[in-house]
A and B are shown apart, each in its own frame.
Chain A
Amino acid sequence: MAAVYKALSKSSGAKADKDTDSSNGAVERKNKQRVLILSSRGVTYRHRHLLNDLAAMLPHGRKDAKFDSKSKLYQLNELAELYNCNNVLFFEARKGKDLYMWFSKVPNGPTVKFYAQNLHTMEELHFTGNCLKGSRPILSFDGAFETEPYLRVIKEIFLQIFGVPQGARKSKPFIDHVMGFSVADGKIWVRNYEIREVEKVKGEGEDENKEDGGDKNKGRKGKGGGGGGGGDKDTDISLVEIGPRFVLTPIVIQEGSFGGPIIYENKRFISPNKVRAELRRAKAGRHVARMEQQRDKLARRRNLGLEGGAKKDSSGLDTRELFA
């Protein structure tokens, strides 16, 4: 009897738990993400700075020393497990110039490999924004991410790696930046913006703040003090880029983590080596054509006896010979 009662009460209790779960899911639901961030050997300073920037933005990240292999990437799985990470963000540099970025969910995949181009780090001075270290970003995804399955996978992986989980250990309680992911030209463009709350043009009672609105930073601070919690309804949002910015070309998606069957391959991706070779070949082609032309010209001139060295064979019937 007691057992039956226990079972019954347990089931009902579980149900109640579920209910609470759905009502205040924020408490119950766990989004535990930890990201192992590391690079291969042979990264340039730019790649390294980008890595540092990303590490600074991810309070749930764990930066590790350079990984010493480019072929045995499956070893990263063990490494991630060692650090209790369930995501890996791996920078693979090749030839000291090309950067490939691997995003992987560790125990059982998937893995996405990108080719990264147009890197701009936070050090660059044309980005004027700034934000708290470890504040949770709002992730803004392009509508195109919902169209294709492979883009959906990429979106989910970005969501888990770049999204700072709620209540992460080193995260800050305010939200002051947006990360934008857009799809254009078959590539994924990543941007990071600061959210600045500025007074609307028709602000009432905050005109003294508007006076120093020219210095936006100051204006924001002044407003924050005045608004506090609910009073800042009438602020408008403007975005200022913080950096880093980069462009990712998806190359391959693997089912497993650094292994397993390939479930997506981008045929539009052309290896940078190929591009360079093509360029070189085009250049060489020009040179070859020119040399050939020159050779032809020389031969022609020689045949006509115009070139200095070899004179036209003087036959015995030449007028000069005959009437010398």
Chain B
Amino acid sequence: MKYPKDNYEHPSVTKIGGHNIIGGLNRVYHCNFYNAYLQMAVLLTRGVGQQDPSDLLTDSVTPLIKILKQNGYTNLDLIQEFSYCGFGILEQLDELHWQTPRSHYGEVLCSHSKPHNSCYFTAGYIQGIVDKKIEEVECKLLDTAADKFIGYNETISLDNYLIYDFALQTEIPQVFAFDGCQEFNTQVDEVKIISELEKIPLCGNYNSPATGLIEVFNTVLTNHFADYYNRISYETYFALCDAGIPEEDSKEMFIQAGHVCAFNTFGRIMCSTEWYNLIVPMCQNKDDWLHGMVAIINILGWGVYRIEKIEVEKELIMRVYNSYEGIGFRRMYLPEKVGNDKNTSFLAMGAILGLAHLLWKIDIRDKPELTQDFYVKQFNNPDNSYIIEQTDSIITGDNYDRFIVSK
């Protein structure tokens, strides 16, 4: 049987505090650039201590599937939602064999190393469905017709890692309506932008030929589990710290993943027809482009982004209420785990810095071709590059995350 079926009813999405909750779990849109870089960062830790990064990438999703099942999901729901969320098309061949003829991780993931089996996430997803150990045995990245998975008659038991209650912030100020916010004069209407964008179906393609991929803005998105990202990021970060890697190098790997994501995906959005039709007519200057992109970020499930200050080409200050990293961290760990270190919302740091670079290092309004060569050329030249600092952090007990981009 092929999935998704034509009569598949999309899951209900509860939008609350900047989070997009499906089946009780926050989902966040991310692109193939981010997924690739993050997976690469995690795989660096192969051979470090007791940690096997392949297991981490696989097993971190399995408890989340278990939560969905506890919340009433059937196996069919899970198979169909795999496609809805842009992971591809998941098919069960027999009791022990599965395949994904189309898949995000098997097709659009890019990496610097030799191509290898890369569908760890999919294997972990299937593990959650069948409660058995699953291994990927063929991957489309190695030019096979499908990613293939085999199950073992070995029941697995993976504990839920979301072990602490931590509620979402409910008092989130409206745009520009908070103490300390600069007075902005802009025609950019975030409410209108969000309302219009919600009409665009950001879900896997079911039309023939169905791909189960979310291909928009010349990039490929997934509607992923925020907790999966958090688990693999922070476990890897702590493993690197435990191995004695200097904090700067460890953090930069994750910040760079967010930066690449912002540069490529935000950049492509800001060159898209949709952007020019909806947002550009509201824009007079670069500040407005920042406001417009922040409005779009606020539909991604990443929390609520609020610009506090813009001093053009000098400083950008951003607050993030309910940042998915901050909230997710507090549901997995105690704040003491990072001491008083504020610089720990890595994705947000990279994304905000990337956004500033799109307008202040290059000028995305000129519609440059966003190739890897272009990226390398820009960022091998330190001129006009910016740096980022996180001054407030939900992880350490602040009400929001706050970031300063400066030179």
Q: Do these two chains really belong together in a complex?
A: no
